[in-house]
Amino acid sequence: MSKALVIGSGLAGLVAALRLDEAGHDVTVLTMGMGGLQLSQGTVDILGYSPERVANPIAALGDVDESHPYRKLGEQTVRESVTWLKTLLGEDYLVGDIEANVVLPSVVGALRPTALYQPQMAAGVLKADTDYTIVGIKQYKDFYPELIAGNLARQELPGGGKVTARAAWIDFEVRSGEADASALTLARALDRDEMIGKFAWALSKVPGEGPIGVPAILGYRRLDVAKEVSRRLGREVFEIPGLPPSIPGMRLNEALRRILLDRRIRLIQGAQAIGFTTSGGKIASVRTHAAGRDVDYAADVIVYAAGGFESGALEMTSYGEIRETLFDLPLVLPEGSPVHGDYWGDPQPLFLVGVTTDDAMRPVGTDGKPVYDNLTVAGSLLAGSTRWEEKSGEGIAIASAWVAARTVSEV
Spatial distance between the Cα atoms of 67 and 21, rounded to a whole number of angstroms: 30
Residue 179's pLDDT band (cuts 50, 70, 90): confident
User: pLDDT per residue over 272-319, tens digit each?
Assistant: 999 999 999 899 999 999 888 999 999 999 999 999 998 899 999 888
Per-residue pLDDT reduced to its tens digit, 193-223:
999 999 999 999 999 889 999 999 999 999 9
- pLDDT tens track for 37-61: 999 999 999 999 999 999 999 999 9
Query: What is the DSSP secondary structure assignment for residue 350, as one 8-state letter?
Result: G
Mean pLDDT is lowest, of 87-96, 340-349, 361-370, for 340-349
What is the pLDDT at residue 291? 83
Comparing CA positions, the residue from 162, 161, 148, 141 lying closest to residue 212 is 148
User: What pLDDT does residue 1 have?
Assistant: 58
Q: Region 342-347: what's the mean pLDDT?
A: 82
pLDDT at 313: 92
What is the spatial distance between Cα 148 and Cα 166, in angstroms, rounded to a whole number? 9
At 258 the three-state DSSP class reads: helix
> Band of the pLDDT at 382, cuts 50, 70, 90?
very high
- Separation CA 274–CA 293 (nearest Å): 12
Q: Is a pLDDT exceeding 90 seen at residue 348?
A: no
Q: Determine the Cα–Cα distance for residues 347 and 262; give it in Å rounded to an integer.
A: 43
Please report which helix (H) or strand (E) contains residue 133, including its range. strand 131-137
pLDDT tens profile 319-340? 888 999 999 999 988 887 888 8
> pLDDT by residue (tens digit) across 135-174?
999 999 889 999 999 999 999 999 899 999 999 999 999 9
Residue 333: what pLDDT?
A: 86
Alpha-helical runs (H) found in 99-168 = 145-154
Q: pLDDT tens across 62-71, in order?
A: 999 999 999 9
Q: Which of 163, 185, 161 is nearest to 174 (CA)?
A: 185
**pTM score above 0.85:** yes
The C-alpha atoms of residue 267 and residue 14 are separated, in whole angstroms, by: 10
User: Which letter, b or e, does each residue of 302-323 get, where b requires 16 or more Cβ atoms within 10 Å of its Cβ?
Assistant: bbbbbbbbebebbeeeeeeebe
- Which contacts of 218-221 are long-range, i.e. CB under 8 A and separated by 24 or more positions? 218/120, 218/187, 218/190, 218/247, 219/120, 219/187, 219/190, 219/191, 220/184, 220/187, 220/188, 220/190, 220/191, 220/247, 220/250, 220/251, 221/188, 221/191, 221/254
**363/314 Cα distance (integer angstroms):** 14
Check: CB of residue 347 under 8 Å from CB of residue 73.
no
CB 209 within 8 A of CB 101: no
